[in-house]
């Protein structure tokens, strides 16, 4: 199976989260956790989930240098593979995330999967991200114009894309337009058979992109 999928594990319950991680962790590039899992279970769930896959903490950091550094330090301490930060807070804040991340991968949001103010400043956000030294960019898989635009500006940075599945984006289209990894959550964890749902997405990639 071609591991081009990041599984968005947006659930509260610890046992459900761990069971899903066991089922799909070795079949995806990474598992992305957001605030629901952290608020219910604490940061230690990152360490527990990391037994099954790379863990990307989707915290969309947006604060002053010291605050984002403290949060990033803690994610690194508990074994995070990566962390997602906003970039609109400016170069110094994003640089602080990159510095605190150490060997972790930093992904910065430059465009979202729904209309937002970021649409007006995407080009500037990509440049800030480059200057800060991030590993990758977050750009929407369900908004072709913005994904293509980010790809053209990325200069080799990895692109991870939300918006596929429940938000209407097509996994193959997103990868053709420039996504390196596609983020999928509800279409997998709300499925009666999450493993089969994941396999179907992976099959689409393999059948249509690897001919």
Instruction: Just list the catalytic residues.
Output: 60
Per-residue CA distances from 174 to 29, 68, 98, 169 (Å): 16, 30, 27, 7
137 conformational bin, left if phi > 0, alpha if psi -120 to 50, beta if neither: beta
Tell me the three-class secondary structure of 110-153, residue by residue: CCCCCCCHHHHCHHHHHHHHHHHCCCEEECCCCCHHHHHHHHHH
Phi, then psi, of 175 in degrees rounded to 5? -75, -35
């Amino acid at each position: 199976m071609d591991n081009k999928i990041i599984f968005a594990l947006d659930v509260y319950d610890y046992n459900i989260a761990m069971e899903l991680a066991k089922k799909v962790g070795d079949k995806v590039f990474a598992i992305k956790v957001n605030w629901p899992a952290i608020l219910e279970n604490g940061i230690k769930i990152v360490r527990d989930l990391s037994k099954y896959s790379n863990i990307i903490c989707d915290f969309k950091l947006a604060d002053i240098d010291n605050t984002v550094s403290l949060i990033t330090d803690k994610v690194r301490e508990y074994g995070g593979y990566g962390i997602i930060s906003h970039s609109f807070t400016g170069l110094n804040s994003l640089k602080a995330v990159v510095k605190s991340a150490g060997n972790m991968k930093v992904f910065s949001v430059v465009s979202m999967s729904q209309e937002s103010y970021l649409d007006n400043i995407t080009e500037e956000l990509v440049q800030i991200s480059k200057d800060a030294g991030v590993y990758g960019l977050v750009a929407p898989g369900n908004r072709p114009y913005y994904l293509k635009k980010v790809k053209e500006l990325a200069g080799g940075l990895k692109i991870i894309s939300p918006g596929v599945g429940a938000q209407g984006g097509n996994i193959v289209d997103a990868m053709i337009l420039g996504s390196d990894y596609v983020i999928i959550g509800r279409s997998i964890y709300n499925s009666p058979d999450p493993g089969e749902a994941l396999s179907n997405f992976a099959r689409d990639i393999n059948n249509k992109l690897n001919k």
